[in-house]
Amino acid sequence: MATITEPLELTRGSMTPLPYRVVRNQRENHDNWTLELEPVEEALDPIGPGQFTMLYVFGVGEVPISSSGNPAEPRRLVHTIRAVGAVTKALCALEPGDVLGARGPFGNRWPLEAARGRDLVLVGGGVGLPPLRPVVYHALAHRVELGELMLLYGGRTPADLLFTHELETWRNEHDMRVEVTVDAARSDWHGRVGVVTTLIPGAPLVADEAVAFVVGPEIMMRYTARALLDRGLDPDRIWVSMERTMRCGVGLCGHCQLGPTLICRDGPVYRWDEIEPLLRVDEL
Partner 1 sequence: MRTLDALIVESPVFTSLDQDQLELIAGCASNVVFPAGDRIFREGDPADTFFLVRHGLVAIDAYVPSRGQLTLEAVGPGEIVGWSWLVPPYRWHFTGRAVEPVRAIQFDGACLRGKCDEDPRLGYTLLTRFSQLLVDRLQATRLQLMDVYGDDH
Provide, rounded to whole angstroms, the least separation between the CB of residue 187 and partner 1.
Answer: 4
In one-letter notation, the amino acid at residue 25 is N
Rounded-to-integer distance, Cα 127 and Cα 72, Å: 22
Which residues contact residue 276 at a Cβ distance below 8 angstroms, ignoring those fewer than 6 apart? 225, 235
Phi, psi of 105 (to 5 degrees): -75, 150
Q: Residue 58 or 189: which CB sits closer to partner 1?
A: 189
Q: Residue 50 or 154: which CB sits closer to partner 1?
A: 154
Helix (H) or strand (E) holding 19: strand 18-27
25 alpha-carbon distance from chain centroid: 19
Q: Residue 71 or 128: which CB sits closer to partner 1?
A: 128
Chain residues binding partner 1 by CB under 8 A are 84, 125-127, 154-156, 160, 181, 183-187, 189-195, 197-198, 201-202, 216-220, 223
Q: Residue 59 or 202: which CB sits closer to partner 1?
A: 202
Provide, rounded to whole angstroms, the least separation between the CB of residue 199 and partner 1.
Answer: 9
Provide, rounded to whole angstroms, the least separation between the CB of residue 219 and partner 1.
Answer: 5
Provide, rounded to whole angstroms, the least separation between the CB of residue 70 and partner 1.
Answer: 25
Provide, rounded to whole angstroms, the least separation between the CB of residue 210 and partner 1.
Answer: 18
Provide, rounded to whole angstroms, the least separation between the CB of residue 86 and partner 1.
Answer: 14
* 63 half-sphere exposure, CB direction, 13 A CA radius: 20
- The answer to whether 26 and 166 are in contact (CB under 8 A) is no
Helix (H) or strand (E) holding 56: strand 52-57
Q: Residue 219 or 284: which CB sits closer to partner 1?
A: 219
Rounded-to-integer distance, Cα 136 and Cα 201, Å: 22
Rounded-to-integer distance, Cα 267 and Cα 261, Å: 8
Q: Residue 2 or 184: which CB sits closer to partner 1?
A: 184
Q: How far apart are the first and last CA of the chain?
A: 17
